[in-house]
Chains A and B, each alone.
Chain A
Amino acid sequence: GAGVSQSPSNKVTEKGKDVELRCDPISGHTALYWYRQSLGQGLEFLIYFQGNSAPDKSGLPSDRFSAERTGGSVSTLTIQRTQQEDSAVYLCASSLWNVGLDGYTFGSGTRLTVV
């Protein structure tokens, strides 16, 4: 596609439920990144993929968080048993290889609210 697409754009969920966030990167971008941003804060790294493998999962806050990428394309970030502190904007970005020549291209994010 022309840009990085994330869905849903907004998600309100009850505490304890599971949620899946989807990221569709730019076609041909081998690297895909997940970050989250709390209100008024910077970006917190979660995980990144090169192709389908995840060399660095160090940012995942707990074992309730997992992510996968299939076919070197779409990625899904899953949060199980959501807690109120999981509320944030989850941002996905892709690049040609690592940061490449042109930095990351970000999606518009998924705003997750846990009530």
Chain B
Amino acid sequence: SQQGEEDPQALSIQEGENATMNCSYKTSINNLQWYRQNSGRGLVHLILIRSNEREKHSGRLRVTLDTSKKSSSLLITASRAADTASYFCATENTNAGKSTFGDGTTLTVKP
């Protein structure tokens, strides 16, 4: 099974609302990354949080990491229609050298 699992699988909100996506994982990690994928395109890196960090911000994005619960959340504030995309978390496991991706959350922001 995937190391990272996103929840919910799909999320639909109105423009201006906040969107929260969650990611759970199973084993010890070096870091956790969030990516966005627009339909039919490659993935774009959004933010990376290291295992010794608890929270990170980038513009309208806020990522939290709780290593005791093996979970992370991505919050997008004041969402826009252009935020409509799939969002993936990826974990780099200790000594793995590669990152493992979840199945993603599909976010739809209605104008």
Contacts of A20 in B (CB 8 A): none
Could you say which of A98, A99, A103, A106 contacts B42, with CB atoms under 8 Å apart?
A106
Q: How far is the CA of A56 from the CA of B95 in the complex (A)?
A: 11
Chain B interface secondary structure, helix, strand, loop or mixed? strand
Residue pair A45, B45 in contact (C-beta under 8 Å) = no
- For residue B97, CB closer than 8 A to chain A, the reply is yes
Residue pair B98, A107 in contact (C-beta under 8 Å) = no
What's the minimum C-beta distance from A19 to chain B, rounded to whole angstroms? 19
Residue pair A109, B42 in contact (C-beta under 8 Å) = yes
Residue pair A108, B45 in contact (C-beta under 8 Å) = no
Could you say which of B31, B41, B88, B92 contacts A43, with CB atoms under 8 Å apart?
B88
Can you spell out 10 A-B residue pairs with CB atoms less than 8 angstroms apart?
A42-B102, A42-B104, A43-B90, A45-B99, A55-B97, A91-B42, A99-B30, A103-B33, A106-B44, A106-B45
| A to B contact number (C-beta, < 8 Å) | 61
Contacts of A48 in B (CB 8 A): 97-98
Contacts of A56 in B (CB 8 A): 96-98
What's the minimum C-beta distance from A10 to chain B, rounded to whole angstroms? 11
CB 8 Å contact bits of A95-112 with B (1 = contact, 0 = none): 000110111111111000
Residue pair A35, B42 in contact (C-beta under 8 Å) = no
Contacts of A102 in B (CB 8 A): 45, 48
CB 8 Å contact bits of A15-57 with B (1 = contact, 0 = none): 0000000000000000001010000011101001010000110
Residue pair A104, B41 in contact (C-beta under 8 Å) = no
Q: How far is the CA of A99 from the CA of B100 in the complex (A)?
A: 11
Task: Take A35-B101, A42-B2, A104-B99 as given contacts and tell me if A99 and B41 are in contact as well, using a CB distance cutoff of 8 Å.
Answer: no
Could you say which of A45, A55, A91, A107 contacts B100, with CB atoms under 8 Å apart?
A45
Which residue of chain B lies nearest to A98 when distances are taken between CB atoms in the complex?
B97
